[in-house]
Amino acid sequence: MKKRDLIIYRVVTALFSLMLLAGAITYFVQYEMVSKMFTSLGVPTEIIYPLAIVKILGVLAIWLIKNPVIKTLAYLGFALDLVFAIIAHLNAGDGGAIGPAIPLVLLIISYVFYRKKRQVYN
């Protein structure tokens, strides 16, 4: 893997991770606001805390776990979460679909460069 590609992978993955961690922390710190948003989207509020924990664990998996299956499952989980968030915002018509679309683009770029990196070392 070229040094440029490795830098792109790390920067994009870091930006993605920071966005998801900020969201997860918001779920804990501003529960009432998040709860109202989930309710307006038609999403059950019971998933707020588990979703926050899974997001934190997913970011840790992407950065720390060496097992490619677990890392790929973390990417898949984030992709599903973000796609469903986009669908929920589009369905609600609140104009908030861009919020999860940005990290989804970063996730795709990160995954493409992760696959490049993995091919070099295999």
pTM for the whole thing?
0.92
Instruction: At 5, give phi and psi (nearest 5°).
Output: -65, -40
For the chain, what is the domain count? 1
pLDDT at 121: 64
Which stretches of the chain drop beneath a pLDDT of 70? 121-122
Q: Taking CA 79 as the corner, what is the angle to CA 57 and CA 86, rounded to the nearest 5 degrees?
A: 115
Quote the domain boundaries for residue 63: 3-121
Q: What is the pLDDT of residue 122?
A: 58
99 Cβ contact list (under 8 Å, min separation 6):
85, 89
Cβ-Cβ contacts under 8 Å for 34 (sequence gap 6 or more): 26, 27, 48
- Burial of residue 8 (CB within 10 Å: 0-12, 13-18, 19+) is middle
Task: Report pLDDT for 22.
Answer: 97
